[in-house]
């Protein structure tokens, strides 16, 4: 009897891969961004945490305006402002324990500062006196990453290594909406899920990759949806609601710390300033859109909540602003001093031991500098 003659009676045994899957907890994100401020959930939020978030938001906003001003004075080569996105930056820094690691992107200077980095050291890359102005181990902040999404696999590897060593460490990696199109985003999420690495990915979806809007970046219903294909939960959160971002990240961090594996969090926010001081945002978006987002400002949202509930008064607001001014004045003063650079640093850290070839080039530069010095004295 041929197979054709068996038709109807023929019932092949399904291969093992065809067994019905029993999926774990639903991975799909909510349809709308999760919010806390202005909702019933706000009543459960810790007042001390809200006040701390508020102080950091006010300080962060002032940091952004001060750094932007420094670009106009030529003190910074470039500054990608995170004005409008401070809730994400601050929540990312405050949600982590001291032993945890933060992996920032180039727009995340503020997250590094909120984590405790010296504001001047955090700006070294953008001033141009060196690539990284701080020891990453000191506050467990990886170097600000300029290539897109390439820091994500680093975060996965570090979290994986920590777990192998038996350390209770979580890595939180920041990336923008544009960065989710990069191959490294895919590979990082895939490795993280396969290894169940204790890592949290926070996508700050600020609407534009320089000028390209989200609709031209992805056809996915949301960036949080991308988590599902990797087998990790995706969360969608209002990126201007500091309490909501903090809560969602705290849950993701706790989940990772408990061995539950990675989470992808998409925070929907908006970049109020242009991409950097070198960008003209009027070419790709209208004022009306920006104004809509200004009305949803992270500081206003939190200030409203706190004052409504009697957790903040005029004195408290003034105190936060004064502290921010003090920080800005200090930053201004220190950034107005010319950095002292040693040209011989060019060769100091290429290898543990310079190669013979580098030693020759080092000698050449040393001779040039000596000749310059002699010329100056003549």
**Least distance to other proteins, CB of residue 109, Å:** 16
**Least distance to other proteins, CB of residue 203, Å:** 18
Q: Is 344 exposed, middle or buried (0-12, 13-18, 19+ CB in 10 A)?
A: exposed
Cα dist. 365→131, 146, 168 in Å?
21, 29, 47
The CB density around residue 216, as the number of other CB atoms within 10 Å, is 11
**DSSP calls for 175-218:** EETGGGGSHHHHHHHHHHHHHT-SEEEEEEE-SEETTEEGGGT-
Is 34 in the active site?
no
d(CA 201, CA 179): 12
d(CA 286, CA 213): 13
**Least distance to other proteins, CB of residue 106, Å:** 13
Residues 6+ apart with CB under 8 A from 262: 156, 189, 192, 193, 196, 197, 198, 199, 200, 201, 232, 256
Residues in contact with other proteins by CB under 8 A are: 130-132, 135-137, 142-143, 147, 150, 152-162, 164-165, 171, 183-184, 187-188, 190-191, 194, 345, 348-352, 355-357
Exactly one of 284, 304, 321, 332 is catalytic; name it. Answer: 284
Q: Which residues of 132-152 are buried (b: 16+ CB within 10 A; e: fewer)?
A: ebbeeeebbbbbbbeebbbbb
Beta carbon nearer to other proteins, 314 or 353: 353
- Tell me the three state secondary structure of residue 169: coil
Beta carbon nearer to other proteins, 147 or 221: 147
Beta carbon nearer to other proteins, 32 or 350: 350
**Least distance to other proteins, CB of residue 165, Å:** 7
Beta carbon nearer to other proteins, 155 or 331: 155
- Tell me the three state secondary structure of residue 329: helix
Exactly one of 59, 127, 140, 271 is catalytic; name it. Answer: 271
**Least distance to other proteins, CB of residue 169, Å:** 8
Beta carbon nearer to other proteins, 79 or 191: 191
Beta carbon nearer to other proteins, 128 or 213: 128
**Least distance to other proteins, CB of residue 111, Å:** 18
Is 284 in the active site?
yes
Is 163 in the active site?
no
Q: Which residues are catalytic?
A: 271, 275, 284
């Amino acid at each position: 009897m041929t197979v054709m003659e068996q038709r109807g009676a023929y019932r092949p045994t399904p291969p093992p891969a065809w067994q019905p899957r029993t999926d774990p907890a639903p991975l799909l994100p909510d349809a709308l961004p999760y919010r806390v401020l202005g909702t019933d959930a706000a009543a459960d939020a810790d007042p001390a945490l809200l006040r701390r978030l508020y102080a950091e938001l006010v300080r962060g906003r002032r940091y952004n305006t001060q750094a932007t001003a420094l670009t106009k004075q030529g003190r910074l080569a470039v500054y990608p402002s995170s004005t409008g996105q401070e809730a994400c930056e601050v929540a990312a820094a405050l949600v982590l324990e001291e032993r945890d690691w933060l992996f920032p992107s180039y727009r995340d200077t503020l997250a590094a500062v909120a984590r405790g980095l010296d504001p001047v050291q955090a700006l070294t890359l953008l001033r141009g006196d060196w690539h990284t102005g701080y020891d990453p181990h000191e506050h467990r902040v990886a170097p600000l990453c300029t290539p897109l999404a390439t820091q994500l696999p680093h975060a996965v590897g570090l979290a994986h290594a920590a777990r192998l060593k038996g350390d209770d460490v979580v890595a939180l990696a920041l990336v923008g909406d544009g960065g989710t199109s990069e191959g490294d985003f895919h590979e990082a999420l895939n490795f993280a899920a396969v290894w169940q690495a204790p890592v949290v990915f926070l996508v700050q979806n600020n609407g534009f990759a320089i000028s390209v809007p989200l609709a031209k970046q992805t056809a996915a219903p949301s960036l949080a949806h991308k988590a599902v294909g990797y087998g990790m939960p995706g969360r969608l959160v209002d990126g201007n609601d500091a309490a909501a971002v903090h809560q969602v990240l705290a849950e993701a961090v706790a989940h990772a710390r408990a061995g539950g594996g990675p989470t992808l969090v998409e925070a929907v926010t908006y970049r109020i300033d242009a991409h950097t001081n070198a960008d003209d945002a009027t070419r790709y978006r209208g004022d009306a859109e920006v104004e809509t987002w200004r009305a949803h400002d992270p500081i206003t949202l939190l200030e409203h909540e706190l004052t409504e509930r009697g957790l903040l008064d005029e004195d408290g607001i003034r105190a936060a602003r004064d502290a921010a001014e003090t920080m800005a004045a200090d930053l201004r003063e220190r950034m107005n001093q010319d950095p002292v650079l040693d040209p011989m640093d060019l060769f100091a850290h290429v290898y543990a031991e310079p190669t013979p070839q580098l030693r020759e080039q080092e000698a050449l530069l040393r001779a040039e500098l000596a000749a310059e010095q002699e010329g100056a004295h003549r």
